[in-house]
Structure 1
Amino acid sequence: MNATPPVVDTATWQDRLAALRAREKAATRELDAIAAERRRLPMVEMPAYTLEGENGPLPLADVFDGRRQLITYHHMWSAGREWQCPGCTGFTSQYTRLEFLDAYDARFVVVTQGPIGEALAYKKRVGNRMPWYSTAGSPFGADVGAPRDGGYAVNVFLRDGDTVYRTWHTDGRGTEQLSHTFGLVDLLPYGRQEEWQDSPEGWPQSPTYSRWASSKDIAAAYGPHTPDA
């Protein structure tokens, strides 16, 4: 049997929870301060890139689809692979309802180095709901931290007419704040159950990524065979 947290009386539990809550609230206030600083970042003007969407080539400014703000997730792509990066596939599979961004004059899309035909076929295979664009014929991805055969990234842009500005970027674990997956899992008593985490003695732990769904698993769960895909 796996180890479990110690059993205590309600008053003791409430005291420990209150102490933890103080730290959680401090972290929330720090995230508020970070967001305030993010809103004060300067920005840099972008060249006039041309991407490709499902209806053909289009300038970067048109990817905004009339909105002023744009978030791009740069999905890793390996030429010739049936199943692309499971982390990217799983991360973007979370976003099935993005219409709420309309009220904020914003859009969230996937950009990948894969050719648009292959990218759209993969999107359908894994049941992804986000708009996809290809930067295969453009240096756009490489210029914003997601080169061909490189890693993933998140970028944010602001549009003023036909001029686009880059306002924010992150990669690696910086993307976790955009995911509900880890937010939910980190609430659990056993957490992510990965070896690198600081957990009590006896807690179940396994190699990093070993509990993540594969791209094939995601396709089986969300792929085109489902009624609403």
Structure 2
Amino acid sequence: MNNRAVPPVVDADTWQRELAALRVREKAATRELDAIAAQRRRLPMVEMPDYTLEGEDGPIRLADIFDGRPQLIVYNHMWFPNEEWQCGGCTGFTSQFTRLEFLDSYDARFVIVTQGPIDEALAYKRRVGNKMTWYSTANSSFGADVGAPPGAGFAVNVFLRQGDTVFRTWHTDGRGTEQLTHTFSLIDLLPYGRQEVWQDSPEGWPQSPTYSRWMGSKEVAAAYGERGA
């Protein structure tokens, strides 16, 4: 640690001026995010078919996954058949969400849907200590229809329900999911940031291969899963 490059040391007044200059850009980014959210609220929507998925208690219609609420966020978790450990990124990302009751006040719910068979999906949920509600689209085209076909990636989708009719209102994947995580928000505050080779960092900053510092599925299970607990 003592051999690492560090930020320059300055007096307090200089530091305050540098921070104030950065704050201008941070505030501009906040206002831009507000504007993006406003545009998102004005997006049109598309009607969805009447899908049937599998839940812990058996088959369930997409409209019933809302559990009486009008709004639903779905995280499509990657799944690879016959693998003991599923996608580390998906496993780590969804392990963050342990207290979702605050969504009740906003008439919304947040769940996981995966291509894996429901029994295997629920067993994996327990193994890694996931606290979210899981559903399977193994016997439905739902995953493929919302940007998460078998073995081909993850996605976030948002839906609005009117009666028994469900509409798709928003979708993202890739780094678009970062806005939902607190991990990168915290890590990006650190002087060394994510320490990944693609990042723009000062000369001498520690850098590692992309993803190498992420918790893998085994690490998540050790920390939060049945055996870890």
Q: How high is the TM-score relative to the length of structure 1? A: 0.98
Partner of 1:74: 76
Aligned length: 227
SS of the residue 1:212 aligns to = coil
SS at match of 1:209: coil
Quick one: which of 51, 54, 58 aligns to 1:52?
A: 54
Task: Give 1:224 shift.
Answer: 1.5
Counterpart of 1:133 in structure 2: which amino acid? Y
CA distance in 2, matches of 1:214, 1:37: 35
Question: Which residue of structure 1 aligns with residue 141 of structure 2?
Answer: 139
Equivalent runs, 1:105-184 vs 2, <5 Å: 105-184=107-186
Q: Residue type of the partner of 2:211? A: Y
Q: Which residue of 2 aligns with 1:42?
A: 44
**SS state at 1:194 partner:** coil
Code of the residue aligned with 2:55 in structure 1: it is G
SS of residue in 2 equivalent to 1:101: helix
Q: Is the 8 A contact 2:70 2:160 kept in 1?
A: yes
4+ residue runs over 6 A deviation: none
Opposite residue 200 of structure 1, the aligned amino acid is: P
How much does 1:225 deviate? 3.7
The CA deviation at 1:222 is 0.1
Q: How does 1:79-90 map to 2 (within 5 A)?
A: 79-90=81-92
In the TM superposition, what is the alpha-carbon distance from 1:141 to its structure 2 partner? Answer: 0.3
Q: What residue number does 1:5 align with?
A: 7
- The two structures, once aligned, show a CA RMSD in angstroms of 0.6
Q: Report the AA paired with residue 94 of structure 1.
A: Q
Of the candidates 219, 222, 228, which is equivalent to residue 220 of structure 1? 222
Q: Which secondary structure does the structure 2 equivalent of 1:133 belong to?
A: strand
SS at match of 1:168: strand
TM-score calculated relative to the size of structure 2: 0.98
Give a deviation string over 1:32-90, Cα, whole Å, max 9, x none: 00000000000000000000000000100000011100000000000000000000000
226 and 209 in structure 1: CA distance in 2 versus 1, 3 angstrom threshold = closer
How many percent of aligned residue pairs carry the same amino acid?
Answer: 78
